[in-house]
C-alpha cells in the first residue's frame, strides 16, 4: 500500500513563532543556521562544511564545494541576510568555518 505525504508550508505566523522559539533559546548561531537553511535550501551536510572563504557577501552568494552528487554550486541569499552574516563574522573573526562549536 502506498502512502501519500502531505506537504505543508508554514504560514508567516507559524514561521514567526518558530523563529521566536529559536531566539528564546538564546543561541544566535542556531537562529542564523536555521535561517540560512530556510533562505538557501542548502543541505545540512553542506552547511556544516561552509568556510568563511566560501562567502561572497558583496554578491550575496555562498560557494558550496562537492555537494550532493559531488558537484560544486553557488547558492544565493537575501541581501538583508548578508548583514546578519557580516555581524556574525565580526563576532567570530578567527573562524575558518562559518559555524564552529
Give the total number of structural domains in the chain. 1
Please provide the average confidence, as pLDDT, over all residues in the chain: 86
Residue 96 lies in a domain: no
- For residue 101, tell me if it sits in a domain: no
Q: What is the pTM of this model?
A: 0.76
- On whether the CB atoms of residues 63 and 72 are closer than 8 A, the answer is yes
Residue that is written with C-alpha cell 535550501 in the block: 41
Q: pLDDT tens, 40-57?
A: 888 888 899 999 999 999
Q: Which range of residues forms the domain containing residue 38?
A: 12-91
Domain assignment present for residue 3? The answer is no
Which run of H or of E encompasses 30? Answer: helix 28-40
Task: Assign 72 to helix, strand or coil.
Answer: coil
Q: What percent of the chain is modeled with pLDDT above 90? A: 43
Interior angle at CA 43, CA 39 and CA 46, nearest 5? 110
What band does 28 get if pLDDT is binned at 50, 70 and 90?
confident
Amino acid at each position: 500500500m502506498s502512502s501519500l505525504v502531505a506537504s505543508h508550508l508554514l504560514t508567516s505566523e507559524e514561521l514567526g513563532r518558530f523563529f521566536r522559539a529559536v531566539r528564546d533559546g538564546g543561541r544566535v548561531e542556531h537562529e542564523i543556521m536555521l535561517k540560512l537553511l530556510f533562505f538557501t535550501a542548502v543541505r545540512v551536510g553542506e552547511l556544516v562544511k561552509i568556510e568563511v572563504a566560501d562567502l561572497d557577501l558583496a554578491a550575496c552568494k555562498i560557494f558550496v564545494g562537492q555537494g550532493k552528487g559531488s558537484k560544486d554550486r553557488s547558492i544565493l541569499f537575501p541581501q538583508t541576510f548578508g548583514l546578519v552574516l557580516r555581524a556574525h563574522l565580526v563576532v567570530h573573526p578567527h573562524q575558518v568555518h562559518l559555524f564552529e562549536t
